[in-house]
Amino acid sequence: MPLALSTENLAKTYSNNLEALKGINLRVEKGDFFALLGSNGAGKTTAIGIISGLLKSSSGEVEINGLNQKNHSNEVKKMIGLMPQEFNFNPHEPNIEILINQAGYFGIPRKDAKIQADVLLKKMELWDRRFDVAQSLSGGMKRRLMLARALMHKPTILILDEPTAGVDVEIRQSMWQYLTQLNNDGMTIILTTHYLEEAESLCRNIAILNNGELVEQSNMKRLLARAKRQVIIIDTVEKISGPIEISDCDCEVIDENTLQVSQGEGISISDVVASLLDQNIHVSHLRSSQNRLEALFLSLTS
């Protein structure tokens, strides 16, 4: 599969000697939905900043769709749409103007930009607020405005830095749907998020940064398969009177109707439920205590 993005020993040391990136080699395939994860200060935003042209790297190379970023700056910029983490628009400007101006900076005529802005404003459910100034929007609306702005010049790679932070559940779901649709239409999407379930459900490949280093780069399914032990919380119909034992699992009674089970390798949920039934305990409800990706993430970054 051809690469949409590749970095070669990409490093960044800030003037205060902070080593934000220590020579990372990222590989993102064309058409991928790619998660770039890391705890705060891991170097995600720095990496995104360099890839999108906001920051200068200290060393290393970036290639976008096979083009070297330094040698083909304009072509590369046209291919990338960036939705940054922080709001970075003029809050006193009308929303529609923010979109049209962004297209103008990419050399798109005002007439064409207006058509694209109308489409995106409707898509992002901001049409009724198009003439309002940006500062009057809610946090979630501002995020959608930034997503629309990132798409104004029709990029082939979309970089999203915490796109759903502060967005309510309903809008988040619709944003996920829209992003999935964009990805299905062929757009490469690189996502950084603190919502690991978001990354798990949307992304096919994943990279994890820790202290400026790439500690993991893998296929999401393969990575999740490495999560050997899963912890589940079980609500029981009957009251639990004594200690519970399930072979190859660690069990802990939380209260008289709640049990925490750490599944052993090769033990399925059916095995756990069956074992409980043998002990005359019926399961009324069960849930995962920790997202599998979250568990892996913590083990890789701690």
Q: Could you say whether residue 17 binds another protein (CB under 8 A)?
A: no
Residues 59-88 that bind another protein (CB under 8 A): 74, 77-78, 80, 82, 84, 86-88
205 and 48 Cβ atoms separated by less than 8 Å: no
Distance CA 19, CA 281 (A): 54
Residues 199-228 that bind another protein (CB under 8 A): none
Window 146-185: contact mask with another protein (x via CB under 8 A) = ---x---x--------------------------------
Return the residue of 1, 2, 17, 92 that touches another protein, per CB under 8 A.
92
DSSP state of 129: G
Contacts of 87 (CB under 8 A, 6+ apart): 134, 142, 146
Minimum Å distance from CB 79 to another protein?
11
Q: Could you say whether residue 188 binds another protein (CB under 8 A)?
A: no
Return the residue of 10, 24, 96, 108 that touches another protein, per CB under 8 A.
108
Return the residue of 31, 41, 53, 60 that touches another protein, per CB under 8 A.
53
265 and 248 Cβ atoms separated by less than 8 Å: yes
- Dump strand ranges (E) for 32-144: 33-38, 59-64, 67-68, 80-83
Minimum Å distance from CB 61 to another protein?
18
24 and 51 Cβ atoms separated by less than 8 Å: no
Cβ-count burial of 81 within 10 angstroms (0-12 exposed, 13-18 middle, 19+ buried)? Answer: buried
Nearer to another protein, 24 or 244 (CB): 24
Nearer to another protein, 188 or 217 (CB): 188
Distance CA 8, CA 3 (A): 13
Residue 250's SS3 state is strand
Residue 79's SS3 state is helix
Nearer to another protein, 110 or 194 (CB): 110
Residues touching another protein, count (CB under 8 A): 36
Return the residue of 9, 25, 70, 91 that touches another protein, per CB under 8 A.
91
Binding residues for another protein (CB under 8 A):
14-15, 49, 52-56, 74, 77-78, 80, 82, 84, 86-93, 97-98, 100-102, 104-110, 149, 153
